[in-house]
Structure 1
Amino acid sequence: MKGRDTFTMAVIKELYQLFLQKDNADYNEQKSIRRKIRKKGFYISDFAKDMNSTDFRLLCISGRITITDKDKYMKSDDVAEFLCNNDDNQSNEIRLGNNENLCSKNAKPQDTENFKEGLGPWVDELSEILILGSLPSDVSLREQAYYQNKSKNSFWKLMHGLFGEGPDSKEFLMKHHIALWDCLAAANREGSLDSNILGGERPNNIQQLLESHPSIRRIVINGKSKAKGYFDRYFSDLYSHIDVKIVSSSSNANSIEFEAKLEEWKKILK
């Protein structure tokens, strides 16, 4: 570890403000902010490849960063809210680091207009493979069903290429022991593109899902860029506990031809 993992509450609050600045800064500004963060003794590379304000806050909540004088400040409303996080939907309880449940007030989105909350998992007691994306598109959120923006995503075409014809439905996937969910429970995003996700991220409780569905033997990450990045950020400890495979994204923005993509998915799902 290059830096420290123990700080006073005063320094934690200073670091958090720097991360908030970093969330909305351009590349050159981020380099300057990173230097300021390192001067305070915190090295992002000790914990992840990159980090935003939400990631830093979750590190503090989980106990992976120790706050030496936390008890002294816990009666302060702003400190108590900073160190707590909750969602009324218990399936989205966050677990990080030591896997303790984290709870108190509802997390406040940074961008109310563009704050998107994802869908619950499609899973049953016979599910064997869990496919994880990043966050559903706006079309999918409106339809309350996964991968509904079919002109821009070939997920269902891939599923039919693997398992034969049938409806684009949860029941079709359950028949073939496939579960669906996302790495993120919520985030700030303008439109549907993963590249437009800007802070406000809340990871889903993948660990809890696996514990409650022991039939799941493999995780398949749908995308070698964003989805994998979120999985690595929030769930890297799972690599040592379950078989994890990464496949090319089903998104049509991925330049790989469909037939080549299908062959890649066959090796993982069949």
Structure 2
Amino acid sequence: MGLGNYKAAAQTYRQMYTLSDSLRLREKRNGVLDFATLYETKEKEAQLVEQAAQLREHRIFLLFSACVIGLLGVLLWRNVRHSRIVKAKNRTMASKIDNLLEYKEELFRRKEENLQLAEQLQAAESELQQRDKAARLLAPQAPLTENEPSVSDEPSDSDDIDRALFDKLEREIISRKLFLQPESPREGLIEQMHVPQNKFPKLFKRYAHTNFSQYLNNLRLDYATRMLKEHPKYTVETISQECGFKNPPNFYKLFSEQFSMTPAEYRDSRNLL
């Protein structure tokens, strides 16, 4: 219809070109919108998946935290219960230790009284023997008959002599507090009390039921318990040195083995009595 009319054909072509460009732009715009919509949808799906994963992790974390808190609660309860049991046991043990120390002190006082009475009795017997000898010297000598025994000392029982010797050794050690010396007072006691070298350890083995070193350590530990009770401001290291122990770790070990508690636990238990 527009043959030969170039202007009309150019105008028509221009309109067709413009319409074509408009359609292509619209298609591109629609494609971009579709792609944007698809991307936005996938992004939202990814966010939903991520949120679900975070929610699942949060629930797992809460469950794990609840389990840990429950376990810690059980452990705390067991720890508190164990601490109460230990404190009750320590209080009972501390009371028994105090009673034992009082018994030992009373026993030592009784032994001291017995030794004093024995010394007084021995002095009286010695005085009587001297008087008897003086009287016999002044009196006329009568011939001995077959039925009259000769004057001679009867042999003493060996066990009684050993027991008396051990009691004197124990009296010397405790009254003079020789056990507080860091060095062993064995040689001085042997020389002072005239005890044979081979007989000295046998006396402690038989009557103290232990060796001499352990016997001294037992006395030191008893003295340490008194210091822990009477001097609450003293450190344990100071008390161990005052009691004759050369190193505090050895004191800790021996005290724990002897009384089934540490020095600090004994002092704390004493404060709760």
Same fold (TM over 0.5): no
Would you tell me which structure has more strand in proportion to its own residues? 1
Report the TM-score, using the length of structure 2 for normalisation: 0.20
- Identify the structure with the greater helix proportion: 2
Greater gyration radius? 2
TM-score by length of 1: 0.20
